[in-house]
Amino acid sequence: MILVTAANGNQGGLLIPKLLEAGADIRACVRTEASEAQLRAAGVADVVVGDLADPLTMTSAMEGVESVYYVGPTLHPNERTMGFAAVDAARRAGVRAFVFSSVLHAITTDLIQHVIKRDVEEHLLSSGMDFTILQPANYMLAHRLKPAFERGVFRLSWSLERRQSLVALDDVTDVAASVLLNGERHAGATYELAAPGSFTGHDLGEIITAVVGRGIAVEEIDCETFLTELYGDVDRHPYQARLMRAISARYSSHDFVGNANVLTWLLGRPPTTYAKFVRCQYDIHRRRVDAQRAPGV
C-alpha cells in the first residue's frame, strides 16, 4: 500500500492516476470531503479525510502502509510539525520507505518554507527508514499563464531580471511514480528536479509570445499588491504573507537555478521544456474557449 498526502493537489492530481494505471494499491489523504469524492470517482478506494496537523489523522493514514509519498500542503503554518509528525508516524507504523517531496535548494536560509523542508529532510535522514528525497524547482503552473492567455499580460511578484529554473509537474510525478514503484533502486537518494535552462521574466514572456503568436507584456507586481489580490485582507494571513514577502525578496535579489542532468537521467527522456508546457496549456485554453463558443453550449 502506498500513501499519498496532499493527494488532490498539484502533484497528487497527476500522480494518483499514474499510480492507479500501474495497478498500485493506493491510500490518498486529503482534507475535504469534496476531494474525497473526486478521488473515489477517479478510482481510489481508500481515502483518509483529515487534517495532517492532527496526529490521529496521521496515525490512521499510516496504518498498513509500505511506502509514503509525503507532500506538505502549500504555505501551511504547521508545515514543520506536520512533516516531523509524518516521519514519526511512518516509523511507528513500520513503513518501509518514505519519499519526501522537498524543494530545490532546501538549504536556502532566507526562504522560510525551504528551511522547514531542510529540517524535515534531516528528521527523515535520522529516522532509520529507507528514504528518497525529491527536490523540485519552481513548478510550471497553468494558473500563472491564465492572465497571459486571457489579457496578454504575464505577471511575476519578483524581479523580472532574475533567472529561475522551473520543472513540469508531469515530470516530477513521473519520477515520483517510478521511485514509489521501484523503491529499492532509489533508497538513500536525494534528487534535484529541474528542467533545462533558467529564465528571467522577460525570457518567459518571449516564450509565451512565441507560442500564442501575439505580444505578451511582462509585468512585475510588488509583493503587497500581489498579496492583496490573493488574500484581500492580508492581515488575516500573516504567516503566508511573511513567506511570500521572503520569496519576493529572495527571488528579486538572487537567481534560483538548478540543473537538468538528474531529471533527464531519471526520466530516461528529455524533460518537458517551458515552451512545451506553454504550448500544451495554450492548446487546452483554446479548446476551452472554442467549447464555450460552440452553439448550444
Q: Which residues bind ligand NAP (CB under 6 A)?
A: 6-12, 30-32, 35, 51-53, 71-74, 76, 101, 103, 113, 136, 138-139
Residue with cell 481515502: 47
Q: Which of 259, 219, 228, 227 is nearest to 246 (CA)?
A: 227
Give 143: exposed, middle or buried? Use CB within 10 Å, 0-12, 13-18, 19+: exposed
Closest to ligand NAP by CB, 10 vs 152, is 10
Tell me the residue nearest to ligand NAP as measured from the CB.
Answer: 9
**If DSSP codes are grouped into helix, strand and coil, which group holds residue 154?**
strand
Residue type, 119: D
Closest to ligand NAP by CB, 53 vs 280, is 53
CB of 189 vs ligand NAP, minimal distance in Å: 17
Cα angle 13, 173, 249 (rounded to 5 degrees) comes to 90
Closest to ligand NAP by CB, 239 vs 287, is 239
Closest to ligand NAP by CB, 136 vs 296, is 136
CB of 187 vs ligand NAP, minimal distance in Å: 22
Alpha-carbon gap, residue 180 to 178, rounded angstroms: 5
How far from the centroid of its chain's Cα atoms is residue 247's Cα?
16
Sign, Cα dihedral of 175, 178, 183, 185:
negative
Sign, Cα dihedral of 248, 249, 252, 254:
negative
Closest to ligand NAP by CB, 152 vs 259, is 259
Residue 219: half-sphere exposure toward Cβ, Cα within 13 Å: 17
In sequence order, the 6+-apart residues with CB closer than 8 A to the CB of 59 are 89, 92, 93
Closest to ligand NAP by CB, 12 vs 205, is 12
CB of 167 vs ligand NAP, minimal distance in Å: 8
CB of 292 vs ligand NAP, minimal distance in Å: 26
Grid cell for residue 138: 519552481
CB of 74 vs ligand NAP, minimal distance in Å: 3
CB of 212 vs ligand NAP, minimal distance in Å: 22
CB of 102 vs ligand NAP, minimal distance in Å: 7
Closest to ligand NAP by CB, 250 vs 294, is 250
Grid cell for residue 61: 493514514
